[in-house]
Amino acid sequence: MLNTQNILIDFKNISKTYGNNLVLDELNLSIKENEFLTLLGPSGCGKTTTLRILGGFEKPDQGQVIFDGKDITSLPPNKRNLNTVFQKYALFTHMTIAENIAFGLKISGKSKTYIDDKIKYALKLVNLDGFEDRQADSLSGGQQQRIAIARAIVNEPKVLLLDEPLGALDLKLRQDMSYELIRLKNELGITFIYVTHDQEEALTMSDTIVVMNQGYIQQMGTPEDIYNEPQNAFVADFIGESNILPAIMIEDKLVEILGARFACVDIGFGKNKPVDVVIRPEDIDLVKPEEGTIQGRVTHLIFKGVHYEMEVMANGYEWLVHSTDMVEVGQEVGIHVDPYDIQIMNKPESEDEEAVGINE
């Protein structure tokens, strides 16, 4: 269980510019102790810069980084109680695995007995017992990444920073390592801060996801909140596949989409107000034409293994539908959506408002 009281890290009004490019704009973010928090977003959104500022590799133009109650904004990386694992493993190829893991401990002046015990402990933790005498370049990519993690955790950091650490691995290895990272986090009891642009990784591993775009936090919450209750069209589109449609909120719990009225559960948007609506492909039921709120025709069909992906042209819009039931191309269907599967969002009034998201 997360400790909801103990905030370990506080970013306060952090801004960072490279040349004329504003990368972070007054970022405020609190991270709890023993949390697995993922910074998620497209390239250039500011997530890696946020991580590098925390690690001490970059200095913000303004703002403070508070770590365990102390201002560490100006501290060098080696004075911070955290370690970073990068996408490029940065192992020393002329050293054995044991020497790679021991490198930081030797610099710290630890005894040989202490170092040997730590090497055995770390290798056991990453399921590479007995690899002490192997050379780094004899290992697979997944094994090298485990060694990079082992080298970081032997220093007993309070926080482990992971900058797209699985990006160089193939799909199966990435999935396997995702489960390994969850296990490690639970066994070590330390805070993990993870940077990725991969939505599946974020949804699989995180306690909390911070979705970023253009230097702003768009939304922060549990994976379930982010997926099921996106706060704007960017989040809805970035996290999984979505049908995002303009609509009119007729009144509480009633929305008009493409000229048809759908019951929903949202309230407080006013009457006859323009809104955006998100409906996930898996939340659309294809029924007999007369049973649907609107009617259409299946135009495309692809088998994806766990489900069929279909496109249905209805009321001038190509609806994306995921279902375990196949409907042939050309068949007439009705579209039904349960009220609680329709997510209503405020429509941004300008591009600036759209970029700022919630971090105002």
Query: pTM (2 decimals)?
Result: 0.88
Q: Per the domain annotation, does 237 fall within a domain?
A: no
Q: What is the pLDDT at residue 161?
A: 95
Task: Pick the more confident residue, 147 or 217.
Answer: 217
At 359 the pLDDT is 43
57 within some domain: yes
- Is pLDDT larger for residue 190 or for residue 89? 190
DSSP three-state, residue 230: coil
Residue environment code for 166-193, b if the CB has 16+ CB neighbours within 10 A, otherwise e: beebeeebbeebbebbeebbeeeebbbb
Q: What is the average pLDDT across 148-157?
A: 89
- Structure confidence at residue 203 (pLDDT): 94
Residues 97 and 246 in one domain: no
Instruction: State the pLDDT at residue 89.
Output: 65
State whether 102 and 200 are in the same domain. yes
Residues 150 and 187 in one domain: yes
CB contact burial 277-288 (16+ within 10 A = b; e otherwise): bbbbbebbbbee
pLDDT level of residue 104 (50, 70, 90 thresholds): confident
258 and 180, same domain (yes or no)? no
Asked whether residue 235 is domain-assigned, the answer is no
Question: Do 157 and 275 fall within a single domain?
Answer: no
Same domain, residue pair 276 and 198: no
Query: Which of 179, 196, 228 is the endpoint of a domain?
Result: 228
Is 236 part of any domain? no
Question: Structure tokens of 173?
Answer: 């290895």
Give the mean pLDDT of 98-123. Answer: 90
Within this chain, do residues 152 and 12 fall inside the same structural domain, yes or no? yes
Where among 204, 228, 252 does a domain terminate? 228
**Whether 324 and 191 share a structural domain:** no
- Which residue, among 75, 81, 66, has the nearest Cα to 7 in the 3D structure? 66
| pLDDT 10s digits, 292-320 | 999 999 999 999 999 999 999 999 999 99
pLDDT tens, 122-148? 999 888 999 999 988 888 888 888 888
Q: Are strands 191-196 and 159-163 parallel, antiparallel or unpaired?
A: parallel
**Local structure of 11: helix, strand or coil:** strand
Structural domain span for residue 296: 242-356
Residues 210 and 256 in one domain: no
- 205, 228, 251: which is the final residue of a domain? 228
165's enclosing H/E stretch is none
Are residues 196 and 247 located together in one domain of the fold?
A: no
Is the domain of 17 the same as that of 137? yes
Question: Which of 182, 211, 158 is closest to 33 using CA atoms?
Answer: 158
pLDDT at 356: 63
Question: What is d(CA 32, CA 50) in angstroms, rounded to the nearest whole number?
Answer: 16
CATH of the domain at 19: 3.40.50.300
84 contacts 161 by C-beta, under 8 angstroms: yes
Within a domain: residue 71?
Answer: yes
- Say what the pLDDT of residue 159 is: 96
**204 is a domain residue:** yes
Q: Assess contact for 157 and 191: CB atoms under 8 A.
A: no
DSSP state of 91: -
Total domains present in the chain: 2
Handedness of CA 346, 347, 349, 350 (dihedral sign): positive
Please indicate, yes or no, whether residues 213 and 277 belong to a single structural domain of this protein.
no
* pLDDT tens by residue, 33-47: 999 999 999 999 999
Q: Give the domain CATH number at 268.
A: 2.40.50.140
What distance in Å separates the CA atoms of residue 69 and residue 171, rounded to the nearest whole number? Answer: 39
Domain for residue 104, yes or no?
Answer: yes
Residue 5 has pLDDT above 70, yes or no: no
Could you identify the residue written with the tokens 């100006």?
74
Q: Please tell me the predicted confidence (pLDDT) of residue 166.
A: 81
